[in-house]
Structure 1
Amino acid sequence: MNRSPAPSTQQRTFVVNRRHFEQSRQLSAPAPTPEQLQPGQLLLAVDRFAFTANNITYAAMGKALRYWEFFPAEGEEGIIPVWGFADVIASRCEGIEVGERIYGYYPMASHLRVEPVQVSDASFVDGSEHRRSLPVIYNQYIRSAVDPIYRADTEALQMLLRPLFTTSFLLDDFFIDNQLFGARSLVLTSASSKTALGMAFLLSQQRDQRTLDYEVVGLTSARNRAFVESLGCYDRVLEYGAVESLDPGVATAIVDFAGMGELLGRLHRHFDTQLTYSCLVGAAHWDARAGAPAELPGAAPEMFFAPTQAQKRLKEWGGAAFQQRVATAWATFLDFVGGWMRVEEALGGEAAERVYQQTLAGDIDPQTGYILSLRQD
């Protein structure tokens, strides 16, 4: 992957209306300078970042899960968080040098100022006051030089899939930790989404090592069905219109990545008392979740918040063991996706706007992953 040129003297920021996501614009202002850094601060130039349906979920859940608070904007506008790589271009933090490559959680912008705390050889946490009460999993930044997952030639896949795969890993772990909530069938909506694929991959790959007997069913659109079937992660792949063909007598758990309220209602009514768990994860169809009835038969829907399961396992396993387990699973998943995923770069403000609007509209090929940058036009 080609690296961007040195950052300009202008800071570019992509903002959206927090209630009307289709309304977006780009702001330009003088970039922070090294002279403006306070003791202990870093200035990062955000090089490239991934943009997927997961980022639309951050916007859709921005108020409820506090995503808007990481990178505050003014008035009715918000800055959507993204995962990517940045370079240290100025440092007043002992032990972190100019030129370091840093992976982590960034604004859709060209620059970010952070205040590292808990600095180690491997990582640091942004201790900026407005982020201290927010989940640490989003505040931790990884120093690429010693990151066991990092490879320069797979940066794009790391940006696109690492945060999604971590959620997939935690979902798989959460369900196995809870004995699948007594279910014999797991139904994953938006089966072509990258987080759903990651979970299905882990459920399929590790099934022989587990004592649980389960089937993994993927629900997707007619357009994506052939692609999803070709990957071999699901035992069965059905179109959304075929929900009622599933056996309603089988104890079933739903993992809803789609966020379509009407579909969620159909699933609840179909399985009724045999629905043992209803897990809400994403909002690929962010504008449709409101279509779900207030009262649904079966298990009440519950939102999955990945940091909660991560904190549980960090406490039980320890940080090093947790990272090693994720890294081991990631290596096998990377081999899997490397065979079919296409990466496209969209550099500059106009390109970022185009990809944002396409993703918002759900008009993205599931085989394509987009890498954006606001550092060059």
Structure 2
Amino acid sequence: MSQILTAAAKNDLAIRSFLVRRDDLRQTQFIDAPFDQNSLQPGQILLKVDSFAFTANNITYAELGERMAYWKFYPAADPAWGIIPVWGFAEVIASHHATIAVDERIFGFLPMASHVVLQPGKVSDDAFTDASPHRTGLPAAYQRYGRVTGDPDYAPDFEAMQSLLRPLFITSFLIDDFLADEGFFGAKAVILSSASSKTAFALAHELHKRKAVTVIGLTSAGNRAFVEGLGCYDRVMTYDAMAELPRQPAVYVDFAGSADIRRAIHERFADDLKYSCAVGLSHREMNPPGKGLPGPKPVFFFAPDRIVKRNKDWGPGGLDLRLVAAWRDFMRTAKGWLKVQSGSRRDVEAVYRATLEGRVKPHEGHILSLWD
């Protein structure tokens, strides 16, 4: 079973992790506890978590922690509390595995902690899967850890961009692929709420390249100039102007998770709304997504399910090849607008609360660590 560890001594570690109250995300705490490195079991590896990205996507993990089992990846000792998973880089500092070496650099789904113990199962030159018993049955997409020595796209200078954007971009790429595969359900426009969010912008970037539909972004008045400057939305509108949306066959991709916005879109388009796709919860509402709405019932998009389908459709490496090509193209655009801000343990609480309360500016990208 994966364990959350921290600190740095030869055999003893002081466990440090950042926890949130599962029934009230406003409550947080840091916990330190001892761990003896000699207790590492055969086949396990000990990772020092160097850095991780924190975005609105991680708040979604917490909001859906019960429903989508995100709390199960790194369970806290007290079940009333949870450890939010994050994407980032770690270093192998101890290994009881025959083919995973000390000093290897790893990218993947990590805890908000300074160390973690994993149990590699299937291992290849570029990745391994975690086979910790408590993670059996959890989505495979979150079990894969990249070995940077086998990643042709890895560059130390772009670690922050990879942590911040690559996992989000994968979701965006898969939504674009899904909608295109379905012929956009006969729609002429795709409407994205929370258009300034990184996942929404990445989807808009992919949709814009196709030139198959009009891409409409909904955002707040304060973020309108930023969204218009991205250059990947054909039209940008503020939420208070939704009544002016042109009636036409449309698809709604909901990154905001706002019941009021969702209802306004469904009532505006009714039968002209060909598909309603629920993705994010940036407005932090957990209302039942489709109760009493005109038009189609919203369907939650779960990226790991799409990954399973495309791996089956395209065969070994097929999805990865397509993702790499799209990622390289997106990076050329994204590096022009993202301002990376780095923080240590003393910054974690402030960044967490700013993200929870929606106060992070769209051009900001936070890279954190639980080290002082």
- The answer for the alignment partner of 2:141 in structure 1 is 137
Post-superposition shift, 1:335?
A: 0.8
Post-superposition shift, 1:149?
A: 2.4
State the distance in 2 between where 1:32 and 1:329 align. Answer: 44
TM-score normalised per structure 2: 0.95
1:312 to 309, 312, 326: 309
Post-superposition shift, 1:366?
A: 0.5
- The answer for the alignment partner of 1:168 in structure 2 is 172
Aligned 8 A contact 2:290 2:297 in 1: no
Aligned 8 A contact 1:82 1:106 in 2: yes
Structure 1: 5+ residue runs without aligned partners? 208-212
Is 1:264 paired with 2:262? yes
- The answer for the alignment partner of 2:3 in structure 1 is none
Aligned 8 A contact 1:43 1:112 in 2: yes
State the distance in 2 between where 1:199 and 1:97 align. Answer: 37
State the distance in 2 between where 1:7 and 1:279 align. Answer: 45
2:93 to 79, 82, 89: 89
State the distance in 1 between where 2:369 and 2:281 align. Answer: 24
State the distance in 1 between where 2:193 and 2:72 align. Answer: 29
Read off the aligned partner of 2:160 and give its amino acid letter.
A
Post-superposition shift, 1:11?
A: 2.0
- The answer for the alignment partner of 1:112 in structure 2 is 116
- The answer for the alignment partner of 1:210 in structure 2 is none
- The answer for the alignment partner of 2:63 in structure 1 is 60
Q: CA separation of 1:343/1:107 partners in 2, compared to 1, >3 Å: closer, same or farther?
A: same
- The answer for the alignment partner of 2:219 in structure 1 is 220
State the distance in 2 between where 1:298 and 1:15 align. Answer: 40
Is 1:296 paired with 2:300? no
CA offsets, 1:132-157, max 9 Å, x none?
10011000000001112211110000
1:51 to 50, 54, 61: 54
Q: How do 1:94-105 residues align onto structure 2 when only pairs under 5 Å count? A: 94-105=98-109
- The answer for the alignment partner of 2:128 in structure 1 is 124
Aligned 8 A contact 1:260 1:292 in 2: no
- The answer for the alignment partner of 1:360 in structure 2 is 356
CA offsets, 1:244-276, max 9 Å, x none?
10122x011100000111110111111011111
State the distance in 2 between where 1:324 and 1:45 align. Answer: 30
Post-superposition shift, 1:320?
A: 1.3
Post-superposition shift, 1:63?
A: 1.0
Q: CA separation of 1:50/1:181 partners in 2, compared to 1, >3 Å: closer, same or farther?
A: same
Aligned 8 A contact 1:217 1:236 in 2: yes
State the distance in 2 between where 1:62 and 1:6 align. Answer: 27
State the distance in 2 between where 1:304 and 1:216 align. Answer: 19
Aligned 8 A contact 1:169 1:199 in 2: yes
Is 1:69 paired with 2:82? no
SS class of match (2:26) = coil
Read off the aligned partner of 1:72 and give its amino acid letter.
P
- The answer for the alignment partner of 2:185 in structure 1 is 181
Post-superposition shift, 1:92?
A: 0.6
SS class of match (2:305) = helix
- The answer for the alignment partner of 2:208 in structure 1 is 204
State the distance in 2 between where 1:332 and 1:293 align. Answer: 35
Q: How do 1:319-338 residues align onto structure 2 when only pairs under 5 Å count? A: 319-338=316-335
Post-superposition shift, 1:289?
A: 4.0
State the distance in 1 between where 2:278 and 2:36 align. Answer: 39
Post-superposition shift, 1:76?
A: 1.1
Post-superposition shift, 1:32?
A: 4.6
What is the number of residues matched between the two proteins? Answer: 363
Return 60-69 or 315-324, whichever deviates more: 315-324
CA offsets, 1:216-259, max 9 Å, x none?
000000010000000111000000111110122x0111000001
- The answer for the alignment partner of 1:245 in structure 2 is 244
State the distance in 2 between where 1:196 and 1:340 align. Answer: 14
State the distance in 2 between where 1:32 and 1:342 align. Answer: 39
- The answer for the alignment partner of 2:369 in structure 1 is 373
Aligned 8 A contact 2:278 2:301 in 1: yes
Matched-pair identity in %: 48
TM-score normalised per structure 1: 0.94
Q: CA separation of 1:7/1:369 partners in 2, compared to 1, >3 Å: closer, same or farther?
A: farther
State the distance in 1 between where 2:290 and 2:203 align. Answer: 27
- The answer for the alignment partner of 2:273 in structure 1 is 275
